[in-house]
Amino acid sequence: MMNQEWKQQDTIRTLFKLSHMGLHCVNPHSIIKVNQPPNIMRKIEEQMNNAIRYRRNWAGSNTTVTCYKKDGITTEVNVLLHGHCIAWFDTASNDFNISSAGWETVTTKSRLNAILEEFCDGARVIQRDFEWFLSDFGTLKPFVDGMKV
């Protein structure tokens, strides 16, 4: 009897640990993942986000952040991937827009998700059956180039 209690306690501990890792157990033999892991940001994406946050021009590899100023004040921040604008932020109106610029690639989606993770809590670009969507706290909206987030 004592052995069975220890086994049960061990199973409860395992289930508790798994629930904190974003995993859910229906029974001890089947584990279902219920939460997506956070986006693991590449170094270039961290540098891109820092440039956006501190409103400074930056270029690295295939990604560029350009800040436009008027009278010494940043009015717009653009993010370009391979020379195509994929995100822009209007500092006066706080409007934030994203776009694939016609290139729905893994790299474009990764850059957009890095920006969204940093500046738009709860929003992600996801793909289902080759179609892009904006997931905003679980609500799916069709992805449209130039959409406001």
- Domain borders along the chain are 2-33, 43-148
CB-side neighbour CA atoms (13 Å) of 4: 1
Give the global pTM: 0.71
> 99, exposed or middle or buried, with CB in 10 Å at 0-12, 13-18, 19+?
buried
Instruction: For residue 9, name the pLDDT band (cuts at 50, 70, 90).
Output: low
Q: How confident is the model at residue 55 (pLDDT cuts 50, 70, 90)?
A: very high
Beta carbons within 10 angstroms of residue 119's beta carbon: 15
CA 78 to CA 57: how far, in whole Å?
9
Helix (H) / strand (E) element for 89: namely strand 84-90
Distance CA 60, CA 56 (A): 13
pLDDT band for position 122 (50/70/90)?
confident
**Distance from C-alpha of 36 to C-alpha of 127, rounded to nearest angstrom:** 13
Q: 65 pLDDT exceeds 60?
A: yes
